Structure 1
Amino acid sequence: MGMSGHRNFGRLMRNWRCGVAVVAVLAAAPALAQEAPRSDSAMVNLVRLLTEQGVLTPEKGKELMDQAQAEAAQARAELAQAAPAPNQQAAAELPPPPPGTVRVPYVPETVRTQIKNELRTEVMAQARTEGWAAPDKAAPDWVDNIRIHGDFRFRSASAFYAADNSPDYIDVPEFNETGPIDLTRQLAPRLNTTRDKRNNMQIRARIGLEATIANRFQLGFQLATGDDPGPISTNATLTGGFRKRDLWLQNAYVKGELVPGLTAMLGRFDNPFRTTDLMFDPDLALDGLYGEANFAKLFDQGDDFTVAVRGGAFPIMFEDSDYPSTSSDKRNFRDRYLFSGQLELARKFDNGVEAHLAGAYHNFTYLRGHVSAPCDIYSVENVECSTDALRPLYATKGNTLMFLRRFDTTANPDPNDPRQPQYLGLKFAYRVLDVNGSVSVPISDGVIARLGGNYLYNFGFDRKNICAEGPDGAPLNNVVLSDPVNDPLQGACDVTGPARFVGGNQGYGGYLSIGDPNLFSVNPRRAYKGAWAINLAYKYLESDAVPDSFTDSDFHLGGTNAQGYVIGGAWSPFDGIAIGARWLSANEIVDAPLAIDVLHVDLGVAF
């Protein structure tokens, strides 16, 4: 301990010793009778002594003197009116005290308590001000700048498939990961579309930390479970022989409000745009940089009105500089990004009604596939064709697909060799307009009704040029065969008898929730005892309205080309605990039959 620490500690001990002395004086005032100066009021003498010693301020001393004199006068009046008791008579017959002695016949309890409390208050205030004692603070300052939060969810998840579902839906990620696959000699991996999966047990655990730096910046981290590193689900299925669960870095960011109303964020963070699960899954986190300008706040217009502009650049994939790894002739691909911009208008009215309207444009660059240059796969088996790198990341189902390879058949030494090992790519680009809004109306304390909607339109959808790359780049799904019995292999770009392409580029949804807004989301951060909510939704999402990699992973078990409804509810029996259930029913819009109903029963705990 340094010299400053010794001095502070000594000062603290002196103050507390003085406080203890005062209490002792008040409890044994007669014992000090011979040391106190002569006065008509013992309490006045005592207060004067404390003031002279610096224990009490002059103002406090005068206040207590006046009160002591008044209470002493009242006590003398009461004693004069009362008949002398035997012990009082005995006391009256006692010999007079020695000269200079002051008797204290009565010290009111209220005065003793007040002096003790006021002394404690003054000493503690001085300690906090000068920084040499803080009894109500059990940790250093940096602890106050850190907030830790977490949640755990246990889920029973069941999926029910219609009996007439098509068994021919391709598992695109596995196709590309294990490929290239030659469909003339190999079976393509397929999704389960016919066998029900009941009561699969899943957990989701997340723990996050946010620290405030320089009263202006926030540094945040979050860890979350997940069966794979994919972007849209943090559920971990309880299976695999009691194996340990994976834990992923879900968030790592720094955020700062440079001036009131102007915010920037860097790193990996929760989706900051106002949207719905029709566009992005609720668990989706974005990588990159983000900025927001709230003009109403910038110009000090209060919190009741919002005019906000948001934007960001989010890398999806940086292409390998060594591609193709097996060739000395390298090829450059542009990095894939999501560039997003949004304008939001919002207003809070005096009656508690709140309205939001937002329009965003999301440009996913270089996601679409292209047919390669003629590729010689006959001379060497592990050759990489020029567009193999355009395989989609974490595709699910629904988006229109195409083959990426065109083969150099002139290099085939055997004209009867039918080999055609392929990869799958996306047929269209994705430049999505996202318009969404909501109106919230208070019903009672803690209960509101919220009605919202969302409309999506993909400007990258190009139906007119669907056959620009010839039959090799024809769409593989979302087509209707003109003669499925006699010509089951016909394509949408065949010269004669082509199949009809039926994919679409739009989506819309309606959402109605009533109850506590903390339970409107499938990811409630906090729920309070007695809170409840009922949530309803209708969703319609055509095949190529959005990339199927990033939309809701629960509805239709992920992907696009689905329509249906969601109904659910939640209730909180204790603070931080929520019980809920959801029923999600969805059918395909076009293409082969695929109806999937999903039931979730959840128990969530958060702090």
Structure 2
Amino acid sequence: MSPVTHSDRRAPAGSGISQPPQAAGIKLATATLASLLALLGSTPVLAQASTPAESAMVRLIRGLIDSGALARDVGEALLAQAQTEAIAAQQAQRQASTASAPQASTRAQAGDVRVPYVPQTVRDQIRDEIKGEVMAQARAEGWAAPNETPEWTKRIRVEGDLRVRNESRLFSGSNSNIQTDWAKLNDDGPYDVNPNTSLSLPPLMNTRKDRDNLFRIRARLGIFAELSERTLAGVRIATGSDDSPVSTTQTLGGGLGKKEIWLDQAWLSHRPVDWLTLVGGRFGNPFFSTDTLFSGDLNFDGIAAKFDKTLAANKDVELFGTVGVIPLEYSSDSFPSTSQDKGKSENKWLFGVQMGAAWKVNADNQLRGALAYYNFSNITGKVSDPCALYAGADHCSSDWSRPAFMQKGNTLMLLRDIALDPTDPANTPMPQYVGLASKFRLLDLNFRWDTKAVGNTSLRVDANYIRNLAYDEDGMWRRARGGIVNNFGGSGGTSQADFESGANAYMLQATYGTASPSNRGDWNVLAGYKYIEPDALPDGYNDSSFHLGGTNARGYYLGGSYAIDKNAWFTGRWISSKEIYGPPLSIDLLQLEFNARL
């Protein structure tokens, strides 16, 4: 998967309730066979009313039954109806002939009916055409071949992909080696920040020692069902070393132990009208976006509504949009577990709305652009009420506000207001969690241009700009009450004067060749640049490869792919990045992959 991934998902339109296949088949076959009977009943001789049952139609039906083309119960029902209608038709013809031509030149015997002559070639042609129509309908509805695959299996499809990757992570020897791993601190914490009582360092990231030749895999398998013409359902499982939302990649090794499988998607979608699709559950990214903001492996929980409408005045212009309500985290019902007084429900949300348009300028040029607004509600950290941990308390009121998942880069703050032991204030343990200091309300602009370049080869240009409209440095410091713990300059100071952050991010990428190789010989090469300031966006949801995930990063990447077979291709990628602010952290990645798609 390239460093830029976009979402473009659709659900089918139309709906209705159909008759049971066998009943529908009988109805069609009866109508068509009756028509054929009326034609084939016309012979060049005087037919006797006493022998209609052995007509060509009756013999045809019996032949279909004997050959297995018609189920016996269906065939016998058709046979009985054909014989009955043939008798009725002959009686009607006899009466009409007697009334209209009593003085015919050829004397008719009692019970004879005179009918017009139909050549044998015409009768054969009519028979073959109607037989073909009946059999086509029978095969489509499954009633002519009882042992054929059941109809419901035709509404289910299986999709999946597999990737084998060799990855090397290369760190500069001049990187700072005192980079705190804040995500691990929260997971393993709380961590005592009082140097008088804490005898160990906080968890630290590896920043200098390379990690060569990591073999990693990603496998995803989904089952998708068309419940009706308007309703779909899907379930997908995937690998993953942990429950990280931004990666389904599994690192191999581990003593050759078995690997874990996770529920990656589970959703239902319905299209009430042709231009609107509703989806709920756990589903793929419904927004048109890049992995600067949302990782290509990221799935969304909640509900979303997507619309797409081609303009009546210009069929080359399509409007589209998405509205999403995404629950990010619910506080525990039993928090705090050791207190009779439980905390109120605290829910974290993502509310997103996007509007965009796609324009087919001509055969060689297509444009696509979108403007989105994302409000990450209630994800900011909060300083707790004073909590007397020295007196036996095991929690503070704002412990719930630490992020469920984060990578690195965002400005962080201490969450606990810990009361000092009046008998020994200097040696009061101060176990802390950290939370996000900034609020996040994002403006997201996306643009794509597909065109033809040298040699009529495809060229795609993607651009993305993100601005955190809620970024407020003074507000962050007030909210944290001075407890900011990262994103300081190289002077070593920790005051607001030493603080460095920002609210902007942008990306530019060009892909030359087939954007998504699928046929043998397809290829592409790409190049791109990213710049992500520390508080431009939440660091927990973007691409986990560039700078090993998160924000406060800038750098370039190069790559290419070549398909060696249908749905099988090799990819190589080089990513080089470094920090924007703060202590030096330069990271290079080399990824070599073999990909396959079901």
Q: Normalising by structure 1, what TM-score?
A: 0.76
Give the deviation of 1:570 after TM superposition. 0.2
CA contact (8 A) 1:339 1:363 kept: yes
**2:494 & 2:287 partners in 1: Cα distance?**
39
CA distance change for structure 1 residues 552 and 303 in 2, over 3 Å: closer, same or farther? farther
1:254 corresponds in structure 2 to 268
CA contact (8 A) 1:400 1:426 kept: yes
**1:133 & 1:289 partners in 2: Cα distance?**
40
Correspondences of 1:13-32 after superposition (within 5 Å): 13-15=62-64
CA distance change for structure 1 residues 477 and 464 in 2, over 3 Å: closer, same or farther? same
Show CA shifts across 1:537-591 (max 9, x none): 1000000111110011000111100000010000101101011100000000001
Correspondences of 1:119-138 after superposition (within 5 Å): 122-129=130-137, 134=144, 138=148
SS of the residue corresponding to residue 458 of structure 2 reads strand
Identify the match of residue 563 of structure 2 among 572, 581, 589.
572
2:14 corresponds in structure 1 to none
Correspondences of 1:215-230 after superposition (within 5 Å): 215-230=229-244
SS of the residue corresponding to residue 123 of structure 1 reads helix
CA distance change for structure 1 residues 528 and 19 in 2, over 3 Å: closer, same or farther? closer
2:488 corresponds in structure 1 to 479
CA distance change for structure 1 residues 403 and 10 in 2, over 3 Å: closer, same or farther? farther
CA distance change for structure 1 residues 154 and 302 in 2, over 3 Å: closer, same or farther? farther
Give the deviation of 1:239 after TM superposition. 1.5
**2:186 & 2:422 partners in 1: Cα distance?**
24
Write the letter of the residue equivalent to 1:358. A
Identify the match of residue 190 of structure 2 among 161, 166, 180.
180
CA distance change for structure 1 residues 167 and 123 in 2, over 3 Å: closer, same or farther? same
1:244 corresponds in structure 2 to 258
Write the letter of the residue equivalent to 1:400. T
CA contact (8 A) 1:19 1:120 kept: no
Give the deviation of 1:326 after TM superposition. 1.7
Identify the match of residue 524 of structure 2 among 526, 533, 538.
533
Show CA shifts across 1:367-411 (max 9, x none): 11122121111111x5211111111121111111111111212x4
SS of the residue corresponding to residue 338 of structure 1 reads strand
Give the deviation of 1:303 after TM superposition. 5.3
Q: Does 1:405 align with 2:416?
A: yes
What is the aligned residue count?
495
CA contact (8 A) 2:135 2:144 kept: yes
**1:559 & 1:222 partners in 2: Cα distance?**
26
CA distance change for structure 1 residues 59 and 337 in 2, over 3 Å: closer, same or farther? farther
SS of the residue corresponding to residue 332 of structure 2 reads coil
Give the deviation of 1:63 after TM superposition. 4.6
SS of the residue corresponding to residue 517 of structure 1 reads coil
Write the letter of the residue equivalent to 1:374. P
SS of the residue corresponding to residue 177 of structure 1 reads helix
Write the letter of the residue equivalent to 1:402. M
- Which structure 1 residue ranges, 5 or more long, are not aligned? 21-56, 65-114, 485-489, 494-498, 520-526
**1:325 & 1:234 partners in 2: Cα distance?**
32
SS of the residue corresponding to residue 175 of structure 1 reads helix
Q: Which moved more, 1:564-573 or 1:4-13?
A: 4-13
Q: Does 1:596 align with 2:596?
A: no
**1:252 & 1:14 partners in 2: Cα distance?**
49
**1:152 & 1:300 partners in 2: Cα distance?**
41
**1:171 & 1:570 partners in 2: Cα distance?**
34
Write the letter of the residue equivalent to 1:318. Y
Q: Give the percent of matched residue pairs that are identical in Structure 1 and Structure 2.
A: 33
Q: Normalising by structure 2, what TM-score?
A: 0.77
Identify the match of residue 359 of structure 2 among 329, 340, 347.
347
Write the letter of the residue equivalent to 1:456. I
SS of the residue corresponding to residue 480 of structure 1 reads coil
CA distance change for structure 1 residues 261 and 559 in 2, over 3 Å: closer, same or farther? same
CA distance change for structure 1 residues 18 and 225 in 2, over 3 Å: closer, same or farther? closer
2:463 corresponds in structure 1 to 453
Give the deviation of 1:10 after TM superposition. 10
- Which structure 2 residue ranges, 5 or more long, are not aligned? 1-21, 31-57, 70-115
Show CA shifts across 1:44-85 (max 9, x none): xxxxxxxxxxxxx98672458xxxxxxxxxxxxxxxxxxxxx
Correspondences of 1:382-531 after superposition (within 5 Å): 383-409=394-420, 411-443=421-453, 447-469=457-479, 472-480=481-489, 482=491, 484=492, 490-493=493-496, 499-519=497-517, 527-531=518-522
SS of the residue corresponding to residue 547 of structure 2 reads helix
CA contact (8 A) 1:576 1:606 kept: yes
Correspondences of 1:256-405 after superposition (within 5 Å): 256-294=270-308, 296-297=309-310, 300=312, 304-380=316-392, 383-405=394-416
**1:510 & 1:340 partners in 2: Cα distance?**
23
CA contact (8 A) 1:159 1:198 kept: yes
CA contact (8 A) 1:205 1:225 kept: yes
**1:132 & 1:177 partners in 2: Cα distance?**
56
Give the deviation of 1:180 after TM superposition. 1.0
Q: Does 1:235 align with 2:249?
A: yes
SS of the residue corresponding to residue 465 of structure 1 reads helix
Q: CA RMSD in A?
A: 3.0
**1:279 & 1:146 partners in 2: Cα distance?**
33
CA distance change for structure 1 residues 339 and 17 in 2, over 3 Å: closer, same or farther? closer
Give the deviation of 1:348 after TM superposition. 0.8
CA contact (8 A) 1:447 1:517 kept: no
- Between structure 1 and structure 2, the one with the greater Rg is 1
